[in-house]
Amino acid sequence: MAKRTLDDYYDRMFQHFGTTGWWPAGSEFEVAIGAILTQNTVWSNVEKAIVNLKAAKLMRPKRIVECEPSRLETALRPSGYFRVKAKRLRAFCEYLNARHRGSMKRLAKLPLPELRNELLALHGIGPETADDIILYACHKLVFVVDTYTRRILSRHGLVDPAIGYEDLRALFETRLDPQVDTFKEYHGLLVWTGNRFCRRTPRCGECPLGPTLKKGQPILE
């Protein structure tokens, strides 16, 4: 079999799904909220919590910092880990208020390395959450690696399943056309493909990437 490239994977997924339009959110701040709430959680549960936040008029950093902890926790309940996530959301909002006057636009003005370092220094923001915010809320060039990214590529023999976050990010960032929209759409396609076809128990049936390949089969060109 011919060697595959990341571009081939993009084309196959795009032909199947078309444009995903990922990330679904009404504002940059909502992207950041969703990025924290979706940690180890299915998106449908995140959506319920976001509906609750809007209904409680908590979709603003100042409101989140000022409201009763129990009120925030109640709104976040459907997304799971609600006590943990309430603390993480609050920590992010405290930072946004103190350092950027509550403005995502101001946050996005930080140079990329500084932006990433500051986000990673916050409680509850790890590499994936930071990169979600940087790419989809600040519109800067980082590739987001998630469980689906690692699982899809490793099951197809393209990378070692134990590859580290930064190594996998570097792989995409050095091989793809360095366009923000390309990175957004690629991650969106991986999420959709992962969701439908590449769960912990594979469902390769209709997968645009074909069946999981055996070890030792094609490697990335």
Partner DNA sequence: GACCAGGCACATC
Partner DNA sequence: GATGTGCATGGT
Contact residues for DNA, defined by CB under 7 A:
22-23, 35, 38-45, 48, 77-78, 80-85, 122-130, 132, 144, 146-148, 187, 191, 194-195, 199-201
Least Å distance, CB 5 to DNA, is 23
List the beta bridge partners of residue 220: 4
Question: Which residue, 10 or 81, has its beta carbon nearer to DNA?
Answer: 81
- State how far the Cα of 40 lies from the Cα of 59, in Å rounded to an integer: 22
List the beta bridge partners of residue 198: 202
Q: Across the chain, where does the E strand assignment appear?
A: none
Least Å distance, CB 11 to DNA, is 21
Question: Which residue, 74 or 101, has its beta carbon nearer to DNA?
Answer: 74
Question: Which residue, 5 or 45, has its beta carbon nearer to DNA?
Answer: 45
Q: What is the dihedral of CA 154, 6, 3, 220, to 10 degrees?
A: -50
Question: Which residue, 5 or 176, has its beta carbon nearer to DNA?
Answer: 176
Question: Which residue, 45 or 212, has its beta carbon nearer to DNA?
Answer: 45
**Residue 42: C-alpha distances to residues 15, 80, 87 (Å):** 24, 10, 20
For residues 127-148, one letter each, b for 16 or more C-beta atoms within 10 angstroms of the residue's C-beta and e for the rest, the string is: bbbbbbbbbbbbebebbbbbeb
Least Å distance, CB 131 to DNA, is 8
Question: Which residue, 3 or 164, has its beta carbon nearer to DNA?
Answer: 164
- State how far the Cα of 121 lies from the Cα of 110, in Å rounded to an integer: 15
Least Å distance, CB 164 to DNA, is 8
Least Å distance, CB 128 to DNA, is 4
Spell out the residues 6+ positions from residue 217 whose beta carbon is closer than 8 angstroms to its own. Answer: 1, 157
Degrees, nearest 5: CA angle 163-169-171: 80
Least Å distance, CB 210 to DNA, is 19
